[in-house]
Amino acid sequence: MSKVLMKGNEAIAEAAIQAGCRYFFGYPITPQNEIPAYMAKRLPQAGGTFLQAESEVAAINMVYGAAGAGARVMTSSSSPGISLKQEGISYIAGAELPCLIVNIVRGGPGLGGIQPAQSDYFQSVKGGGHGDYHLVVLAPSTIQEMVDLVQEGFDIADQYRNPVMILGDGMLGQMMEPVEFEERKSRRLPPKDWATTGWKGDRPRAVINSLFINPQVLENHVNKIYRKYQEIKANETMAECCNCEDAEIIVSAYGTTARIVKSAMEMAARKGIKVGLIRPITLWPFPTETFQEWAQRDHVKAFLTVEMSMGQMVEDVTLSIGGKKPSHFYGRTGGMVPNPADILAEIEKVRGGNA
Amino acid sequence: MAKVFERPKSLIDIPMHYCPGCTHGIVHRLVAEAMDELNIREKTIGVAPVGCAVFAYDYFNCDMQEAAHGRAPAVAAGIKRVHPDNVVFTYQGDGDLASIGAAEIVHAANRGEKITTVFINNAIYGMTGGQMAPTTLLDQVTATSPYGRKPETEGYPIRVSEMLATLEGAAYIERVSVHDIKHIVRAKKAIRKAFEYQLEGRGFTLVEVLSTCPTNWGMTPAESLKWLQDNMIPYYPLGVKKEAK
């Protein structure tokens, strides 16, 4: 199939439809509005249902109902809206329902701004809602990768009965790039024999629920979910390593920021500075082992994490490298996007300090 | 000898957790009888609330989902959009539906979601220990209105059925009571009719059931039934509030 030029948000929506998603529940918020608009137009043509909910709170609970009924379903929003969805996301994780949640992140806290940011990292990977749970968090850095991860995300959700989040940002949502929609093979997925479809007695009665009033039963349930997380860690962790083999400095960044880092790396190479990049593609599970591996190498003198936040992922990088090498941070926030020259200056500063 | 009275097939044979004299048990039974009579048990998906009826998924003998507090109509909408040929109902109390879930019920009704809501109005929060509900009557004493509900500080009891009846998407709305046999029979008819309307695809249906909470009202079951009749019915008049032709 040939490439088409598409806006990131529209590409997510089209990829979801091609991945078999037929239900979308959402609420307007900038900068993700192209996703619901695309769904509103295309889903009815594809035999699906688009519904604009009365709030983000209602939208995520519609996702709960539809996922519990066995559908491949998604929602999308941006930071303040995702905050409102956290209650429902916790229930979805507790009831072990598969769905895709897209967060096209904007600056915060509060109403914040509408420009791209990465300040929802903690909320996405450390829980966000109440209770012991994790989302699988996927962080694409190109629109093509976003398209590919949508299909992957639905499959991961169905395979493990767990909500999956695509963590984008306003830049990825709004920019246009050529993308190819390849015919992708879906994974072999377990049947949704737990879904509420009407009970004729041919299977156990389906009850979608996250309430376990007996503490021992609740602990058992959470332990079961955490065994599943171990499996996800073992099978699904993804990271891209770039020029790490002889790097003095390894920069770590995800999403949009990783692209800007790549430009800074080219500038550094022209100056004879050897810089590598570790780009986590799954933010949860975090590619801890990849960092551990490179932290042990003698040629690596220091790590520098670059984010569009005040420093969130850097905590996981620091934990992963476990004091073996210095861990530095550079970030812009509030919708300000770092430029390659600034990142290069930080690289040189880190290198000077370690020389 | 022929059996003339037995447990509805749509109700699971286990002890309920409800307090003595609570009318939830009666309403559960009415819903189950209506499901049996319409032969819809195998295609019904129920949604339980947060509140006293939170364990309803253990009692109704059909597929069930347990929703977050107040969100049952949104969950039900999600289910119904996926399975339009199934029967979907929510069972919600007054705190769940009229307070924290006010937005969800209004918009589900307004969209004409083809679901049925059984709304238990007992003018108080039961599960959490007798706090003031949006439906608590004026001067009624609760844990959080210890001097009685005052309109100048707590506002007025909400007449949910009348409010929802103003919405175009609502197809059938009736308020009933379960304080005596005659009214229980009437309540059953209303619940059955709501399911029938749903089966006919007419739109949103809701039956508000005036109910008692002897434990948190601090009354005997018999006193509670009389209190309902004397105090709730004058403020919450019974009858059909909306019936789409």
CATH number at residue B225: 3.40.50.970
Q: Measured between alpha carbons, how far is B177 from B188 in angstroms, rounded to an integer? A: 10
Residue B16 lies in a domain: no
- Stretch 114-173 of chain A: residues touching chain B, C-beta under 8 Å: none
For residue A2, the model assigns a pLDDT of 86
Chain B residues interacting with chain A (CB cutoff of 8 angstroms): 41-45, 47, 54, 57, 61-68, 71, 74-83, 86, 103-104, 106-107
The answer to whether the Cβ–Cβ distance between A64 and B67 falls below 8 Å is yes
**B36-41 mean pLDDT:** 98
Contact A199 B42 (CB under 8 A): yes
Determine the 3-state secondary structure of B7 from DSSP. coil
Q: Flag whether B5 is in a domain.
A: no
Residues A225 and A106 in one domain: yes
Which pLDDT tens digit goes with each residue over A29-41?
A: 999 999 999 999 9
> Residue A114 domain-assigned?
yes
Q: Which domain holds residue A37?
A: 4-191+210-236
Q: What is the pTM assigned to this prediction? A: 0.97
- Residue B156 falls within a domain, yes or no? yes
Among B65, B106, B113, B115, most A C-beta atoms within 10 A, so best to mutate, is: B65
Q: What is the DSSP string of B31-97?
A: HHHHHHHHT-GGGEEEEE-SSGGGGGGGTBSSEEEEPPTT-HHHHHHHHHHH-TTSEEEEEEEHIII
Q: What is the mean pLDDT of residues B179-201?
A: 98
Predicted confidence (pLDDT) per residue in B44-102, tens digit: 999 999 999 999 999 999 999 999 999 999 999 999 999 999 999 999 999 999 999 99
Helical axes A79-94 vs A56-68, angle rounded to 10°: 30
Judge if A228 and A214 occupy the same domain. yes
Position of tokens 């209650």?
A87
Alpha carbon dihedral B229, B234, B239, B242, in 10-degree steps, equals -140
Number of domains making up chain B: 1
Give the distance from residue B226's alpha carbon to the nearest chain A alpha carbon, in angstroms.
34
Question: Same domain, yes or no, for A40 and A91?
Answer: yes
pLDDT in tens, A277-294: 999 999 999 999 999 999
Q: Are residues A34 and A148 in the same domain?
A: yes
- Looking at the structure of chain A, the number of domains it has is 2
User: Beta partners for A116?
Assistant: A106
Q: Which residues of A touch B45 (CB under 8 A)?
A: 69, 196-198
Is the residue at A109 inside a domain?
A: yes
Q: Do A200 and B57 touch (CB under 8 A)?
A: no
Pairing of strands A136-138, A282-284: antiparallel
- pLDDT of amino acid A1: 65
Do A280 and A217 lie in a common domain?
A: no
- State the pLDDT confidence band at A185, using cuts at 50, 70 and 90: confident
- Asked if A182 and A273 sit in the same domain, the reply is no
Q: Is residue A95 part of a domain?
A: yes
| A172 and A287, same domain (yes or no) | no
Percent of chain A with pLDDT over 90: 97
Output the pLDDT for position A355: 47
Q: Do A198 and B78 touch (CB under 8 A)?
A: no
Please check whether residue A224 lies inside any domain of the structure. Answer: yes
Judgement on whether residues A247 and A343 belong to the same structural domain of the protein = yes
Domain that holds residue B161: 24-243
Tokens matching residue B40: 């819809």
Q: What is the mean pLDDT of residues A73-95?
A: 98
B40 in a structural domain: yes
DSSP B183-197: HHHHHHHHHHHHHHH
- Structural domain contains residue A271: yes
ipTM of the complex in this document: 0.97
Instruction: Please report, for the domain that includes residue A298, its CATH number.
Output: 3.40.50.920
Q: Does residue A204 lie in a domain region?
A: no
- Which chain B positions have a beta carbon within 8 Å of A129's beta carbon? none
Same-domain pairing of A217 and A278: no
Q: Do A168 and A264 fall into the same domain?
A: no
Contact criterion met (CB below 8 Å) for A35 and A76: yes
- Closest CA relative to residue A343, chosen from A279, A280, A249, A205: A249
Q: What is the pLDDT of residues A219-260, one digit of tens each?
A: 999 999 999 999 999 999 999 999 999 999 999 999 999 999
Q: Give the Cα separation of A234 and A178 in Å (integer).
A: 33
Residues 6+ apart with CB under 8 A from A83: A123
Which residues of chain A does B101 touch, with a Cβ-Cβ cutoff of 8 Å?
A: none
Give the pLDDT band of residue B245 (cuts 50, 70, 90): confident
**Domain-embedded: residue A201:** no
Q: What number of other Cβ atoms are within 10 A of residue A215's Cβ? A: 8
**Does B12 fall in a domain?**
no
Q: Is B41 part of any domain?
A: yes
Instruction: Report yes or no on B18 lying in a domain.
Output: no
Instruction: Report how far residue A141's alpha carbon sits from residue A145's, in angstroms, rounded to the nearest whole number.
Output: 7
Q: How far apart are CA B70 and CA A30, in angstroms?
A: 27
CATH number at residue A121: 3.40.50.970
In this structure, the answer to whether residues A167 and A40 fall within a common structural domain is yes
Q: Let me know whether A72 and A183 are in one domain.
A: yes
